[in-house]
Structure 1
Amino acid sequence: MTAELYTSVKNAVKAAMRAKDKERLATLRMITAEFKRIEVDERIELDDARILAVLDKMTKQRRDSYQQYIDAGREDLAAQEQLEIDIIADFLPQALTEDEIKALVTAAVAQSGAESTRDMGKVMAIVKPQVQGRADMGEVSKLVKQQLG
């Protein structure tokens, strides 16, 4: 059984081919290549949860590259990274607001019984599956530290 997100990406590749949208097609092919690489390397079939994690990681990599290009004054390369971020974002669920993230973190702290930053791993283990692909994990981590600190 193929994951829903996997099918969505494949359909987007076909649509981009029909529309002759070379930039979008290149990014979509990069995404499917990453999916295939993981399937071959790990000998598994990706499910939606793992696909979200992969897309989240790809977005984070592009954000890092984008910032480096901006810092280096390479707006042309930064624009390409931003385009890829936008295309990947099409397949990620709606982003959570800061208030929604805070509520999830508060609930996770209560559920885990965490009392200090030493218990951060317990809280993150509860929060991460809920926010995967919907929030920047760096921001989530900061919010957890604030609540535990």
Structure 2
Amino acid sequence: MSGIKTQISNDVKDAMRSKDKDRLAALRLILAAFKQKEVDERIELSDEQSISILNKMAKQHRDSIEQFGQANRDDLIKKEQLELDIIESYLPEKLSEEEVNLLIDEAISETGANSVKDMGKVIGLLKGKLQGQADMGEVSRLIRGKLGS
């Protein structure tokens, strides 16, 4: 069992003991997503795969919060925000934009990229390093800005 999954399982027990129903529901939602992936692919999740699932869940919750905001559903926004906060508590610390830019510059010089056509090489090199620590859409935008100029 991955370290993240073990931590969440222990936190489920703590939430049950403290009768924190909202936290318990969010943690069970995370464990259900992990279990679904394990059953679908007949694998034992690694921490990297767990982080990938948590990132996907966080993105879905952010999208839901945005949609509920447009529909003026404050009750649902609170619920989604609580779940998002719990999910994000298990994700690695995000890198600052300066740190991301430094890694991008290193990757560009390492790959010898000099145009937007070489962007795939740079992203391929960075994807493993930045997984869970930066929004890859934002990273892509930054790379395009550096290579496009």
Return the TM-score normalized by structure 2.
0.94
Cα deviation for residue 133 of structure 1 reads 1.6
Tell me the C-alpha RMSD between the 2 structures: 1.1
Show structure 2 runs of 5+ residues with no match: none
Alignment of 1:15-30 (within 5 A): 15-30=14-29
Q: Would you say how many aligned residue pairs link Structure 1 and Structure 2?
A: 148
| Percent identity over paired residues | 51
Residues 82-130 of structure 1 deviation map (CA, whole Å, 9 limit, x = unaligned): 1111001111111111111111111111122222222222111111222
- Counterpart check, 1:36 vs 2:35: yes
Contact 1:56 1:132 in 2 (8 A): no
Q: Deviations over 1:14-70 (max 9, x none)?
A: 111111111111010010000000000001110011111111111111111111111
SS at match of 1:59: helix
In the alignment, what sits opposite 1:91? 90
- Normalized against structure 1, the TM-score is what? 0.94
Please identify, of 91-100 and 117-126, the stretch whose mean Cα deviation from structure 2 is larger: 117-126
1:50 — aligned with what?
Answer: 49
Deviation at 1:76, TM superposition (A): 1.6
Unpaired runs of 5+ residues, structure 1, are none
Shift >2 Å, 4+ stretches: none
Task: Provide Cα deviations, 1:120-149, integer angstroms capped at 9, x if missing partner.
Answer: 221111112222222222211211111111
The match for 2:120 is 121
